[in-house]
Amino acid sequence: MSRPGERLRAFTARIVDPRTMARVIDPAIADLQRERSVGSYVGVLKVVLWCATGELMMPAREWTPDDRRTVTRTAAAVAIVMMLTILGLEAPFIPYAWREGVSDYRLPLYLVPQGLPMALAISVTLGLLFGLDGRPASRQVSRGLLMLAFVASVVSFVDLAWVTPASNQAFTAAAAGNPGVVRGVPEALGDLWQLGSPDFYFRTAFALGPLMLSLLALAVVGAQPARWVTVASGLVIAPGYYILIYSARNLAPAGWLHPAVAAWLPNVLLAAVAAGLMLTSRRHAHAAG
C-alpha cells in the first residue's frame, strides 16, 4: 500500500525539475506523511500548484505585452469568479457554524474542499470567456491557458481523491464534538475502487472538468461570435455541464450504460463540440483567406 502523497509526488516529478523537487516538494510530502490532516493536504496542494504553474509559465519570456495582458486579465477573472463561487457555495452553511450552542469557524472551512472542484470548473470557464473578452487568443496564450486548466484539473483530482474525504471526516467530528467519531461511507478514491463503486468513475471524470470546459471556452471564443453570444455561452456551458454530469449519473443505476461510460460521456460530448467549433473556425479562416 502506497504512503500518502506518493502518487502526487510521482506526477509532480514529471513537470518540476529535480532541484525544486528536493528543496520544495519533498519536504511538503514528508510533512504530509508525518501528519495526515486536511491542513497538510491543502499545504501540499498549494506548493504543487505554485511550482507547477511556475514551470508551465517559463516559456512566457517571449510573450508579447498583449499576450501578458490577456493572461493577466483572464487569471484575474478566474480568481474573482472562483472566490465568488466558493462564497456562494459556503453561504448556506455559515449560519449552521454559528447556530445556538455552537461557534466553530472551522466548519465552513472544512466544506471548502467539497465545493472546490465545482468552483474550479465554473471559474475557469467564465474566466476564459470574460477574460478573453471575445478576442481569440494567440496559440502561445491558448497553450498557456490550457496548461493552467490542466493544473486546475490535477488539483481537482487530488481534492476529490483525498482532501475532500479527509475534510468531510473532520467536519463530522467537529460538528459532533467528538474527534473519535467513526467514519461512515468510504470516500477515498482507493476505497471506492476496491468496492467497485460507480463514484470512482464519476469522480475521476469530474476532475477533468476544468480542462474540458476550458477547451470548449477557447473554441467558443475562437469562433469569434458576437459579444452577447460569448456572455450567453458562459451562462450556459457550466450549468449545462453539470446537467450532463447528473443526467449521465442516473443512466448507470438504470443499467443503460456502464458506470465508466456514463461518467465519461459528458467529457466526450464537450470534446466533440469543441472540436466541431474549432474545425468550423478553421474552415471560415481558410475561406476568408
pTM comes to: 0.72
Amino acid in position 203:
R
- Tell me the pLDDT band of 37, cut-offs 50, 70 and 90: low
- Tell me the pLDDT band of 165, cut-offs 50, 70 and 90: confident
Compute the average pLDDT of residues 113-141: 83
Residues 172-219 pLDDT 10s: 777 766 666 666 666 777 777 777 788 888 888 899 899 899 989 888
Top-confidence residue, 115 or 139? 115
Compute the average pLDDT of residues 47-56: 60
Measure the CA–CA gap between 75 and 9, rounded to whole angstroms.
26
Measure the CA–CA gap between 103 and 89, rounded to whole angstroms.
20
Q: What's 256's DSSP letter?
A: S
Residue 12 has a pLDDT of 66
Among 27-36, 161-170, 264-273, name the most confident range: 264-273
| Dihedral over Cα of 188, 169, 246, 82: its sign | negative
Q: What's 197's DSSP letter?
A: -
Range in 41-45, 125-129, 224-228, 249-253 with the lowest mean pLDDT: 41-45
**What distances in angstroms separate CA 117 from CA 47, 67, 103, 121, one per listed residue?**
18, 27, 27, 6
Residues 58-72 pLDDT 10s: 555 567 778 778 888
Residue 49 has a pLDDT of 63
Grid coordinates given for 7: 502518487
φ and ψ at residue 136, rounded to 5 degrees: -60, 140
Residues 246-285 pLDDT 10s: 888 887 766 777 888 888 899 999 889 888 888 887 777 7
**What distances in angstroms separate CA 172 from CA 175, 177, 259, one per listed residue?**
5, 8, 29
Residue 199 has a pLDDT of 85
